[in-house]
Amino acid sequence: MTYFEAFIIAIVEGLTEFLPISSTGHMIITSALLGIESTPFVKLFTICIQLGAILSVVVLYFRRFFKSVNFYIKLIVAFIPAAIVGILLGDKIDEYLENIQGVAIALFVGGIILLFVDKWFKDGKINDDEEINYFTALKIGLFQCLALFPGVSRSASTIIGGMSQKLTRQTAAEFSFFLAVPTMFAATAKKLLDFYKEGITLNSDEIKILAFGNVVAFIVAMIAIKTFIALLNKHGFKVWGIYRIIVGGVLLILFTMGAKIAIV
């Protein structure tokens, strides 16, 4: 992976991590279009790069992260389901990272669902994360498990999960951002541990590329978060649903016509 490729992937990650359009799915598609070889380091990069974007949440919501111990307990409770499923199905998830057709289907189907989310869950009453109880946090965490399949979108699944539990759009979105922090820390740690167990070591160039990508993703995500909240409050999910349907639909049409888009 070159610095240019890392730069492009990092921009895609920073822009899409908090949008309900699947950052992992977009990174897989971008990697395929750039012809990036699916090496162990590239797989590590696509996971760890998300940590840089997630850290922007800690910076932007700094005061919220040091509000109370209860806040952390809720995040841990919500994090547990995905952690268990991720450990049990880690190898399968790695296989999905190379399945672009699966990503296209997930984007398309998810887009259709997003067209109706605002109508389904329009009676949100909880507008403060302090009002979220442990059982509600757990149920949101169960929704996050859906995002282990690339193309579903962690952001979309957890925000919809929150709205289904009577959270307002903004509160659901912000809790989704907060939940991303332990989730991506754990995902990055697990991927690095897998590397260590397999006896794979990062060379100095790979470490520099990984650090560079995380910095770029962090900066881009800082801008994307505030923009997304504003757009979500103004337009809801419909615009993102249309976008997902277009992207997923175009990819499916290309596959139907015999186009070969794959991680080489």
Where are the chain's structural domains? 3-256
Count of C-beta atoms within a 10 Å radius of residue 190: 15
Arithmetic mean of pLDDT over the chain: 84
CB-based burial of residue 66 (10 Å sphere; 0-12 exposed, 13-18 middle, 19+ buried)? exposed
Which of 63, 31, 71, 35 has its CA nearest to residue 49? 31
Two tokens, residue 188 = 């990055």
Q: What share of the chain has pLDDT > 70, as a percent?
A: 94
Per-residue pLDDT of 239-248, as tens digits, reads 889 989 998 8
Per-residue pLDDT of 203-221, as tens digits, reads 889 899 999 999 999 999 9
Two tokens, residue 61 = 């919501």
What's the pTM? 0.81
Per-residue pLDDT of 89-120, as tens digits, reads 766 665 655 667 888 888 899 899 999 988 88
**CA pair distance 143, 116, nearest whole angstrom:** 17
Per-residue pLDDT of 29-77, as tens digits, reads 888 888 888 788 888 888 888 888 888 888 888 877 777 788 889 999 9
Average pLDDT on 164-174 reads 88
The DSSP letter of residue 167 is: B
**CA pair distance 10, 16, nearest whole angstrom:** 10
∠ CA 144-148-152, rounded to 5° = 80
